[in-house]
Chains A and B, each alone.
Chain A
C-alpha cells in the first residue's frame, strides 16, 4: 500500500475518535443489561460491551476495548450512532455499516445514516482490517439480540 492508501485508511475522523473515544468505559445499570465479550482470534483484539435498553430504545452502550485505532474508533462511532435510537432503527444502522464494511470499497456510504461512520469507507478496502472495524459492532448486535430475546412478551427484564 502507498502513503495515499494510508491516508484513506486513517481518516482524520478515525484518528480523532481513537484519541478521544466517546462513551468508553463500562457503566452499571439496574436493569435490562446484556454484556458480551468478543475477541478477534487473528490479532487478539478484545471488547467487553454492555447494552442497556429502556422502552425499546438503546439507552446506553458502554465498553472496555483493547485494540488498534480502527477497532477503538469504530466502537466510539457505534456509541454515537446507536445510543438514543430505537432498537429497530439501530439495527438498520448496523446493517448499513455492515454493508459498507463488506463492500470491498465499492459501497457509497450514506452520511445521513452513518455520520462519522462514513470515514470507515476506506477501511473496507483492507480485508485484514474489516474485522477490526466490525468487532464492537458485532458485539453490540449480539448483546442487543440477547436482550430482545429475553424481552419476549412474557419477559420481565431480568439481567443476563
Chain B
C-alpha cells in the first residue's frame, strides 16, 4: 500500500541495516519498534568504525606520527559532520561527551560553580513534567546543592506542555530553563522557539534535550533567530544510527567560554603548573582525557548518512508511519494512547495502555511474535504519574520502519488480548 510521505527508497534503506535481516528464535522475522530506546546501525557506520580500528587507530592530538594524524583528522572531521547536522553556527561549539546524560550533567554541574552564570540561593531553575529522568535529576542535584528553587511546567490532558502560566513560571528569578524538544514518552513536540524567546527576555539560559528530536527533526541552529535559539543542546549518538558511548553538547560560544571546566585532565589544559593551570579553549576545554574516538568517527558517519537521505524526508517518513500507527492502534479494543493524537504535533514514539494487561506482559507476548517494543516507565516516571499510570508500552519507529511492521504490531496486540482472555 502507498502511504504518503514514506521514504521512496525504503526497501533500499532497509537493506542498509543488516540487523533487520536477522531471524529471531523460532525463525521469526524481527519487527523492531524500539528505536526511541536505541536505533539500529547502517552498514556504513559499522564499516567506518571497523576501518578506523583496522587502519587508523591511534590516540588523537598528541601522537606525532602518521596514524596519530589520521586518527585526529577522522575525529575532528566527525565534529565537522555533527556541526553540519545541527547547523551549528561554529564547529568548535560541538563538544563530544559520552551520552546526552553526561552533556546535561556537564551543564548542570558547571552552573553550580563560580562564574558569571553561577546559580545560587534565590535563583530558579525551570524544567517540565515531561522530561526524561536525565533532564530532571541533574537539575534537582543543582538546586539542592546551591539552594536554588526547582520549578516546572505541567502537562495538559492531551499531553502538551501547559504554557498558560509561562509568565509566572519564567521570571526575573529564572536562571535556567531546561526542556525536552520531543518527549520520549508522549511524543509531544514542544515549542522550543517560543519558550526560548520568553526565557531570553528575562536573561535565562535555555538548555534543550534533543535526544528524541535530533533523530527525527531537521535542526538548523544557525538559521534560528538568536532570541529563539537555545543556548545549549544535548543529544546522544546511538539514537541517530550512531554507536553508543558518544554524545553531543552544542553550546553557544559566549556561554561555553564562561562556564568553568567540567572534568580536569589531559587535553583540556593550556598549561599546567603545580600551583594551578590554565585551560584550553572550546571544544577541548570540555573534553578531558582520551575521548571515545572510534565512537565519534562512527557518529560522524551516522549523521552523514542521515544527512544524505535528508532530515526533511526522514521527518516526513516518521510522520507518515506515526499517523498510520495511531490509526492502527486505535482499532485495538481497550487501547488508550498517551499523548497527542495528531501525528503532525508529535514524534515517532507512541506510548499506550491496554486495559487488563500490564505493559510487561504485553511486551513479553509481543516478543514471542518477534515484535520488539519497550515496556515500563521509559525513565519518565513523573510524566506517567501525571496520567495516573505506573508504566506503559511504547512503540517507536524510525527511517527503516515500514507499514507492514505496524500491521504486525496491531496483530500481535490482538493476539495479546486473546492470550490474556480479554473478550
Residue on A nearest B26 in the bound complex, by CB: A2
Measured in the bound complex, the distance between the Cα atoms of B389 and A43 in whole Å is 12
Q: Which residues of chain B come closer than 8 Å to A6, judged between CB atoms? A: 364-365, 368, 419
At the interface, yes or no: B25 with Cβ under 8 Å from chain A? yes
Known: A2-B26, A43-B376, A46-B390. A67 touches B368 (CB 8 A): no
B367 touches A1 (CB 8 A): yes
At the interface, yes or no: A101 with Cβ under 8 Å from chain B? no
A43 touches B375 (CB 8 A): yes
At the interface, yes or no: A15 with Cβ under 8 Å from chain B? yes
At the interface, yes or no: B381 with Cβ under 8 Å from chain A? yes
Measured in the bound complex, the distance between the Cα atoms of B26 and A34 in whole Å is 47
Size category of the A interface is 20 to 34
Q: Which residues of chain A come closer than 8 Å to B367, judged between CB atoms? A: 1
A48-92 residues at the B interface, CB under 8 angstroms:
66-70, 72
Min CB gap A34→B, angstroms: 24
A43 touches B26 (CB 8 A): no
Q: Which residues of chain B come closer than 8 Å to A5, judged between CB atoms? A: 25, 368
Size category of the B interface is 20 to 34
Binary CB contact string for chain A from 1 to 20 against chain B (1 if under 8 A, 0 otherwise): 11101100110000100010
Binary CB contact string for chain B from 158 to 171 against chain A (1 if under 8 A, 0 otherwise): 00000000000000
B390 touches A132 (CB 8 A): no
At the interface, yes or no: A125 with Cβ under 8 Å from chain B? no
At the interface, yes or no: A129 with Cβ under 8 Å from chain B? yes
A68 touches B359 (CB 8 A): yes
Min CB gap B373→A, angstroms: 14
A44 touches B368 (CB 8 A): no
Main secondary structure on B side of the interface with A:
helix
Min CB gap A65→B, angstroms: 11
Known: A1-B25, A1-B367, A1-B368. A68 touches B390 (CB 8 A): no
At the interface, yes or no: B227 with Cβ under 8 Å from chain A? no
A67 touches B358 (CB 8 A): yes
At the interface, yes or no: B391 with Cβ under 8 Å from chain A? yes
At the interface, yes or no: B346 with Cβ under 8 Å from chain A? no
Q: Which residue of the partner chain, among A1, A19, A43, contacts B391 with CB atoms under 8 Å?
A: A43
Binary CB contact string for chain B from 336 to 373 against chain A (1 if under 8 A, 0 otherwise): 00000000000000000000011111001101100000
At the interface, yes or no: B377 with Cβ under 8 Å from chain A? yes
B368 touches A68 (CB 8 A): no
Min CB gap B326→A, angstroms: 25
B378-423 residues at the A interface, CB under 8 angstroms:
381, 384, 390-391, 419-421
Q: Which residues of chain A come closer than 8 Å to B365, judged between CB atoms? A: 6
Q: Which residue of the partner chain, among A10, A42, A126, contacts B376 with CB atoms under 8 Å?
A: A42
Q: Which residues of chain A come closer than 8 Å to B391, judged between CB atoms? A: 43-45
Q: Which residues of chain A come closer than 8 Å to B360, judged between CB atoms? A: 43, 45, 67-70, 129, 132
A44 touches B420 (CB 8 A): no
A68 touches B25 (CB 8 A): no
Measured in the bound complex, the distance between the Cα atoms of B416 and A6 in whole Å is 11
Min CB gap A91→B, angstroms: 28
A44 touches B376 (CB 8 A): yes
Can you give 15 A-B contacts (C-beta < 8 A)? A1-B25, A2-B28, A3-B26, A6-B368, A10-B364, A15-B420, A44-B390, A45-B391, A66-B390, A67-B360, A67-B390, A68-B360, A69-B361, A129-B360, A132-B360
If A6-B364, A10-B419 are given as contacts, then 17 extra A-B residue pairs at C-beta distance below 8 Å, sorted by A number, are A3-B368, A5-B368, A6-B368, A6-B419, A10-B364, A15-B420, A15-B421, A43-B376, A44-B376, A44-B377, A46-B390, A66-B390, A67-B358, A67-B390, A69-B360, A72-B358, A129-B360
